């Protein structure tokens, strides 16, 4: 594996820590690599270098930054197969999905290489005869990014590409479970020719220590986080003392509603795609499936037949569509959620347990019918291959159910009446709505949530805004 790196990347150099930790394959717990474990002091050093580099990088012409980003994108596409293989080894998702993630991740770099040239300001009619007003947009400064294990590649590029395009420099802390995809991106960034200090990657098992440095250090002007709502709240509190700009892409509790005028086969396919991707471990995965009573039985029958066909196993095997869960505590959490549903009257239609050995991280794709509001499947982010199916009667009832959560990230529904489609899309309190589709993520659209799912938008023409400040210039004496 030519792109396997175990040292961290600071100021254009590969750096060792004072100890190491292991990265293992979630499929069989085999050792993938021993990586260097960096300290809070080393994070501080990286921030200092990023701050020095910012003075240089922000002066580059947009077209110059774009050219280096473009080169980075091309290198990612050239090495897509190897990046995907490495991703599957450390994360477990099936190889085809991993390759999809690499292409999706690279597409942000391509997109923001283009957007770099379009950071326009305004000319605004002055409020007095001798006044003229203009605005410019400037990079916020050093950006710290903390990213999760479920998309070890794309969650990095989705933050770093707009930051770099805007003229910011970055210090990234990838999830300790999946640092290798991040380090491979650093190697390709090195080859692409970013000046030293523009991109820095700190791998560490001390997440909270690194987080504290990133939040407390006044040189960091912006923190972008993707992960749990619990950790997002900690980071927001920690950022208060230096009044940092923050973007938060946090947990979800996505409803997926099937109305009785929906194309049932299409809804089944959409629900499977949305629910079982990455073994149910994405923040936009369907969490609660609501089916209108007239088609409930027909839907359940078809959905069950489709779920039973999903093959669970080693992501490297091309027949496999559901890989292992990320770690033991993730499986334990899902087991408890299933048991809670059964204890409260839920019916286990299929699945419900691990596949193979007692310590296996493979979990059967599971369906629970007769799901109810008092169950954890309603209130918690499941983050595993479990579908709870709820029956509903009216539009008003399902909207109330769908919105009854502190989360507001993704939502989905299937139906054909266009007036109702507008009513439901407007009534759902979510940042994103999939209408007759279960797949909504794309570079060209603004990804992000409301309520306790966070704020800020990634991708699209809005994706640069999180990394830019607006400066207004008031020109007087224009007589």
Binding residues for ligand ADP, per CB under 6 A?
146-149, 173, 175-176, 207-208, 211, 227-228, 231, 234-235
Nearest approach in angstroms of CB 170 to ligand ADP is: 15
Kindly report the three-state secondary structure assignment for every residue of the chain: CCCCCCCEEECCEEECCCEEEEEECCCCCCEEEEEEECCHHHHHHHHHHHHHHHHHHCCCCHHHHHHHHHHHHHHHHHCHHHHHHHHHHHHCCCHHHHHHHHHHHHHHHHHHHHHHHHCCCCEECCCCCCCEEEEEEEECCEEEEECCCCCCCHHHHHHHHHHHHHCCEEEEECCCCCCHHHHHHHHHHHHHCCCCCCEEECCCCCHHHHHHHHHHCCCEEEEEEECCHHHHHHHHHHHHHHCCEEEEECCCCEEEEECCCCCHHHHHHHHHHHHHHHHHCCCCCEEEEEEEHHHHHHHHHHHHHHHHCCCECCCCCCCCCECCCCCHHHHHHHHHHHHHHHHCCCEEEECCCECCCCCCCCECCEEEECCCCCCHHHHCCCCCCEEEEEEECCHHHHHHHHHCCCCCCEEEEECCCHHHHHHHHHHCCCCEEEECCCCCCCCCCCECCCHHHEECCECCCCCCHHHEEEEEEEECCCC
Q: Given the complex with ligand ADP, which of 173 and 244 has the nearer CB atom?
A: 173
Nearest approach in angstroms of CB 326 to ligand ADP is: 8
Q: Given the complex with ligand ADP, which of 231 and 337 has the nearer CB atom?
A: 231
Nearest approach in angstroms of CB 334 to ligand ADP is: 13
Nearest approach in angstroms of CB 142 to ligand ADP is: 17
Q: Given the complex with ligand ADP, which of 278 and 387 has the nearer CB atom?
A: 278
Q: Given the complex with ligand ADP, which of 331 and 468 has the nearer CB atom?
A: 331
Q: Given the complex with ligand ADP, which of 230 and 479 has the nearer CB atom?
A: 230
Nearest approach in angstroms of CB 122 to ligand ADP is: 37
Nearest approach in angstroms of CB 475 to ligand ADP is: 44
Q: Given the complex with ligand ADP, which of 13 and 237 has the nearer CB atom?
A: 237
Under 8 Å between Cβ of 18 and 94: no
Q: Given the complex with ligand ADP, which of 98 and 145 has the nearer CB atom?
A: 145
Q: Given the complex with ligand ADP, which of 179 and 388 has the nearer CB atom?
A: 179
Nearest Cα to 439, choosing from 104, 148, 160? 104
Torsion, Cα of 459, 464, 466, 468 (10° steps): 180
Q: Catalytic one among 90, 97, 213, 249?
A: 249
- Give the chain's radius of gyration (CA, Å): 23
Under 8 Å between Cβ of 98 and 88: yes
90 is catalytic: no
Q: Write b or e for each residue in 120-153: b if 16 or more Cβ atoms lie within 10 A of its Cβ, otherwise e.
A: eeeeeeeeeeeeeeeeebbbbbbbbbbbbbbbbb
Q: Catalytic one among 97, 283, 452, 458?
A: 283
Nearest approach in angstroms of CB 235 to ligand ADP is: 6
Nearest approach in angstroms of CB 205 to ligand ADP is: 9
Q: Given the complex with ligand ADP, which of 210 and 398 has the nearer CB atom?
A: 210
Residue at shortest CB range from ligand ADP: 211
249 is catalytic: yes
The gap from C-alpha 405 to its chain's centroid, in whole angstroms, comes to 20
Nearest approach in angstroms of CB 172 to ligand ADP is: 10
**Which residues belong to the active site?**
249, 283
């Amino acid at each position: 594996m030519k792109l396997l790196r175990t040292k961290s990347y600071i100021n254009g150099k590969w750096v060792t820590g004072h100890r190491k930790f292991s990265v293992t394959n979630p499929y069989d717990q085999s050792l993938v690599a021993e990586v260097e474990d960096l300290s809070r002091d080393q994070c501080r050093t990286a921030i200092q270098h990023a701050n020095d580099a910012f003075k240089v990088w922000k002066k580059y012409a947009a077209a110059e930054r774009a050219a280096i980003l473009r080169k980075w994108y091309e290198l990612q596409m050239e090495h897509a197969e190897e990046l995907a293989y490495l991703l599957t080894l450390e994360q477990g998702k099936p190889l085809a999905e991993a390759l999809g993630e690499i292409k999706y991740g690279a597409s942000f770099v391509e997109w923001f290489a283009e957007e770099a040239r379009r950071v326009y300001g305004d000319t605004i009619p002055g409020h007095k005869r001798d006044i003229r007003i203009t605005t410019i947009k400037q990079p916020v400064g050093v950006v710290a990014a903390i990213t999760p294990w479920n998309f070890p590649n794309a969650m990095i590029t989705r933050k770093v590409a707009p930051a770099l395009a805007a003229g910011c420099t970055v210090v990234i802390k990838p999830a300790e479970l999946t640092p290798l995809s991040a380090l491979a991106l650093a190697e390709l960034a090195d080859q692409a020719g970013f000046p030293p200090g523009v991109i820095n990657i700190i791998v560490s098992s001390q997440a909270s220590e690194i987080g504290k440095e990133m939040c407390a250090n006044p040189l960091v002007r912006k923190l972008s986080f993707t992960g749990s709502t619990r950790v997002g709240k900690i980071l927001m509190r920690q950022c208060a003392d230096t009044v940092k700009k923050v973007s938060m892409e946090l947990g979800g509790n996505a409803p997926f509603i099937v109305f009785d005028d929906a194309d049932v086969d299409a809804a089944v396919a959409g629900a499977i795609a949305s629910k079982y991707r990455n073994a149910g471990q994405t923040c936009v995965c369907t969490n609660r499936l609501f089916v209108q009573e007239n088609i409930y039985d027909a839907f359940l029958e078809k959905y069950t037949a489709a779920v039973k066909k999903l093959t669970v196993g080693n992501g490297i095997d091309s027949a496999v569509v559901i890989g292992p869960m990320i770690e033991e505590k993730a499986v334990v959490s899902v087991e408890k959620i299933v048991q809670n549903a059964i204890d409260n009257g839920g019916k286990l239609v299929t699945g419900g347990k691990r596949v193979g050995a007692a310590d296996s991280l493979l979990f059967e794709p599971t369906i629970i019918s007769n799901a109810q509001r008092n169950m954890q499947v309603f209130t918690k982010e499941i983050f595993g291959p479990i579908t709870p199916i709820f029956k509903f009667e009216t539009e008003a009832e399902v909207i109330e159910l769908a919105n009854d959560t502190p989360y507001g990230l993704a939502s989905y529904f299937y139906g054909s009446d266009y007036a109702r489609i507008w009513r439901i899309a407007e009534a759902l309190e979510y940042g994103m709505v999939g209408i007759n589709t279960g797949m909504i993520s794309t570079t060209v659209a603004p990804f992000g949530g409301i309520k306790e799912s966070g704020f800020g938008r990634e991708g699209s023409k809005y994706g640069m805004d999180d990394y830019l400040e607006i400066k207004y210039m008031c020109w007087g004496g224009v007589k």
